[in-house]
Amino acid sequence: MTEHDDLPVAARVRRLEERLIEAGLASDAEIDEFLSRLYAEADPVNGARMVARAWTDPEYRSRLLSDGNAAAAELGFGWMNYQLRVVANSTVLHNVIVCTLCSCYPVSLLGPSPGWYKSFAYRSRTVREPRAVLAEFGVSLDADVSVSVWDSTSEARYMVLPVRPAGTESLGLDELARLVTLNGLIGTALV
């Protein structure tokens, strides 16, 4: 336990910022500019565009699953300072993302994380009873579908590649991207 553990998160973050400034590693203006740029560009549409491309381009899908950072950079999302791992749902496997220690999350591709993602209940129960948590989100899976829970860290963040919905073969990239929800990218919804 550190001397700041009893402080609210915002106060601890400010203490960290002050240490960076005191060490000459960043200025208040640089931190503000970075955060403004990040949140201006951070949107679930970014992840949805990657999914739509993967649904229509098998070679991109392969690259997305083998090197998420490189595939993200192809679409102009190259500013990530973590390893992006993309896991694909299928008819026999459903993936769900959690961060058991805190709330590590690919903000640049999914936008700000939902409040429930940061909650202790979601973080702990998803690991112990993923099917029950998914059912609370309205996701009912057949018994023969396996569930994999992926734990994000500060070094590696995850995103789900949902199964492409049937009957969407005639849709273009923009139309496909509109089908993809934030919860679908986390694995707490089907697309």
List active site positions. 99, 102-104
Place of tokens 């999350």: 105
- Return contacts of 52-55, CB within 8 angstroms, 24+ apart: 52/173, 52/174, 52/176, 52/177, 52/180, 53/173, 54/161, 55/164, 55/168, 55/176
Taking Cα atoms as reference points, which of 110, 98, 94, 66 lies closest to residue 162? Answer: 94
How deeply is 145 buried, as exposed, middle or buried, from its count of CB atoms within 10 A (0-12, 13-18, 19+)? Answer: middle
Three-state DSSP at 170 gives: coil
* Cβ proximity of 158 and 150 under 8 Å: yes
